[in-house]
Amino acid sequence: MRPQERTMRVKLRSVVQQVCLGCAALTVCVLVLQNLAQGLRDSGRGGDTASTTYPVAHGWPERAPRSLNRDYMPAGGENTLEEVVEEPGRVKEEEEEEERRRGLLNTLVATATAKPATTLDDIFISIKTTKAFHKTRLDLVLKTWFSLAREQTWFFTDTDDAEYQHKTGGHLVNTNCSASHNRRALCCKMASEFDAFLQSNKRWWCHFDDDNYVNVPQLVTTLADYDPQQDWYLGKPSIRAPLEIINRDNVSQRISFWFATGGAGFCISRSLAFKMMPIAGGGKFISVGEKIRLPDDVTLGYIIEHLLRKKLTVVEEFHSHLEPMRFVNTDTLARQVSFSYSQYGSEMNVLPVDGLDTRLDPTRLLSVHCLLFPNFSYCAT
């Protein structure tokens, strides 16, 4: 072989070797970059999964299920996350780790947002009355359900009355409001009830009229389903459609809103009451009633539904004298919160329950009380 040919072959072999080494190095670099990119994708995917697949530990809803609307639909509609296919072993490990994180997260969130337990001592119960009804109505209340909530119930009237101050254990409040049944007098008493609740540091304010029977244990049970740290307006309307009135700020407009009738009773959480304070506190409730020229329970609905944009949550277990009592299912008395009665001429609108003689119990509320709490002494007669 000629020296020139040998030299050429050596050079060619050297070039081939360098090319092979270069290709090998390039292959290694590509593999490293691919692994790095895959790792980054996995990390990003893991972060997305953690942020989107952890179940949300919901607090108590802003509104009852009856009042839920499309505001509660998730943005973008249904969840459309794509499935990610990974190695079985790796998937199992990630699922176990995610399950552990999920449990820890739910525990922390549940602890931080736990709904406080409601007891009778958390409730401020106010009863609106007037001197003319002390004898005819308060005696019935004092003889029945008042004894189950003696410390929590206060009577708001329009005069001093030593006899009933004693009978109520000092829980008779003279509001110095008019004894008439006009709009201003009603709003005056409601304003006193509201301000008294704010000073009580209680979690719930429940208003009833002096012709209501209150099933105290069921009232507590009902309120236990709601969080007083959220905005709740609980009650029952007496009309079939929202009330529509002229907007006093712009008489060319009309506004509409629901209100809970005071004759059935209603309850307001402390959270909502605090939001009402700038509008209704310190006696300003009366001015709002005068502005819209409507009674106390309607004024309350106007403040809450129209001004504060908080919705009434309907609780069907509240009952007023404006509804026919004969239609109340007497088999479910223990699950009802309030009852009432009324008389139209010679016809009595009362619950159709057996019990005491109608001459002794024309309103049937004594008999209702005996059905619910038969251990009272007069129930044996």
Catalytic residue list: 297
AA identity, residue 373:
F
324, 349 in Cβ contact below 8 A?
Answer: yes
330: DSSP letter:
G
Q: Which two tokens stand for residue 174?
A: 């003279």
226, 251 in Cβ contact below 8 A?
Answer: no
Residues 6+ apart with CB under 8 A from 10: none
- Give the angle subtended at the CA of 138 by the CAs of 132 and 140, to the nearest 5°: 130
Q: Which two tokens stand for residue 31?
A: 């593999």
C-alpha span between 108 and 345 (Å, rounded): 61
CB atoms within 10 A of CB 224: 14
C-alpha span between 254 and 293 (Å, rounded): 14
Half-sphere exposure of 218 (CA within 13 A, CB side): 19
303, 280 in Cβ contact below 8 A?
Answer: yes
Helix axes 284-292, 270-280, angle to 10 degrees: 70
Beta-strand ranges (E) seen in the chain are 123-128, 153-157, 172-174, 204-209, 213-214, 233-235, 243-246, 254-257, 266-269, 313-314, 338-339, 342-344, 347-349
Residues 6+ apart with CB under 8 A from 365: 140, 144, 213, 339, 341, 351
